[in-house]
Amino acid sequence: MITVSVKWQKELFRDVEIDTSQPPYVFKCQLFDLTGVPPERQKIMVKGGLLKDDADWSALGVKAGQKLMMMGTADEIVKSPEKGTVFVEDLPEEEQVVSVGHTAGLFNLGNTCYMNSTLQCLHSVPELKSALIKYSHSGRNNDVDQSSHMLTIATRDLFNELDKSVKPVAPMQFWMVLRKKHPQFGQLQNGMFMQQDAEECWTNLLYTLSQSLRSPGSSESPDAVKSIFGIELVSRIHCQVSNEESSETESVYSLKCHISQEVNHLHEGLKHGLKSELEKASPVLGRSAVYLKESRINALPKYLTVQFVRFFWKRESNQKAKILRKVAYPLELDIYDLCSEDLRKKLEGPRKILRNEEGKRLGLEVSEKSSVSKENDVNMADAEGSSNGGGEPSVASTEEGEKEAQMTGIYDLVAVLTHKGRSADSGHYVGWVKQENGKWIEFDDDNPKPKVKDDITRLSGGGDWHMAYIIMYKARVVLV
């Protein structure tokens, strides 16, 4: 780490740090924060000419205390006329976000698209942002280590910055803390940071947040992350040889969609993912035996995450190879038949309410026998009032009167994380996120682009184009 000064126009920025273990593009992102000049417009004079994004610092001979000269124009905001129309560019950034209809993109700091796409998808969850806002420096749990605490703070601050900005954000602080907490994301190859697996980033970040956002001594919400993403599975474990049978309950943050020649749709892959074989010692047989594990969902999350198991270890090439097979997924997912018998019984009432209310909106007649009585005081309009703008009611607070949000087993797609390429550790990751206004945005690093529903359903695979790797659904509920 060395410190230099940077001369730009009439300004001189002193004590600017250069991390020589990182590519010059990262240094340019720091200067963007200071000057507002985008990295692609920056011309920085060094030994041998202009500073390139992927140059080797050791070959440039930059010394501590050296003064560097930078040229380039910053993004200008159009001044509003004294009278007349107020342009979007003239609004405060918070109001620009509302007007544009989406939040900011994230600069790629050097093979960090796996991190950017993960952050954009998780940033779309209001309940997670709310839990992070409540987390403070003073509220640190003694059971949480310093690096986990700092990663939680960095996530909270970055989400807050994304909400207030329309210009791309450089996630420098988050990236540095992520590598400190999870060193595997700091692996270097030829002096450059390596591409990483987005699913590993997603899983490690959620695990860290689940530890930090746990409220000690609170029986109502002991784990904020679990209350948002937690899926309770009940499993039957059976050995066909000895007829031994047992059951177990576990909590996971995602379901797996296993891909084989028989799998053409998400639902089929999920069914495969809930069945597995395991080998363990049998007390009856006195030897190892194969057991069949069949799982069912026993408690539903507010946000259902599904990972397409597209990568496997290929010994010949010694890397993660990719399954390119097309697996279709719906914008609306019904997982009723993946639930346990106990959970299905609980879902029957809310599902009937939902069908009746949707029938009314479509102008269909509902029989008196199946209609909901006024005494139950069911109000779907209240649920819609807390929706994401696309007509899907979100999980609402139970503090509003005496009404309670009840699950229906039906989910609406709100985020897709895609991968383009043949290996998990190469290629390119992109986040596709549904906004509060119901429109879809493709977050390709620092370049957000509007998309339509048909664009989202085309991400199902079958070639070298972007294909879904992780998808996230939001629960559709009724207030009873």
What residues are labeled active site? 113, 428
CA torsion through residues 28, 33, 34, 36, sign: positive
- Alpha-carbon distance 412 to 135, whole Å? 28
- DSSP-derived letter for residue 76 is P
CA dihedral 85, 90, 94, 97 (to 10 degrees): 70
Alpha carbon distance 305, 131 (integer Å) = 18
Of 133, 121, 115, 128, give the one whose Cα is nearest residue 182.
Answer: 115
- What DSSP string describes 228-289? HH-EEEEEEEE-TTT--EEEEEEEES-EEEE--TT--BHHHHHHHHTEEEEEEEETTTTEEE
- DSSP helix/strand/coil, 325: coil
> Using CA atoms, how far apart are residues 203 and 206, in angstroms rounded to an integer?
5
Give the helix, strand, coil percentages of the chain, each rounded to 5.
30, 30, 40
- Residue 186 to residue 193: CA distance in whole angstroms: 6
Instruction: Supply the DSSP string of 10-47, one letter for each residue.
Output: TEEEEEEEE-TTS-HHHHHHHHHHHH---GGG-EEEET
Please check whether residue 85 is in contact with residue 384, taking contact to mean a CB–CB distance below 8 angstroms: no
Distance CA 199, CA 302 (A): 20
Q: Measured in Å, how far apart are the chain's first and last C-alpha atoms?
A: 59
Q: Tokens 């050296």 label which residue?
A: 66
Q: How far apart are CA 32 and CA 337, in angstroms?
A: 52
The sheet carrying 275-282 orders its strands as: 245-252, 231-238, 287-299, 275-282
What's the CA gap between 233 and 254, in Å, rounded? 11
Q: Identify whether the C-beta of residue 433 lies closer than 8 Å to the C-beta of residue 418.
A: no
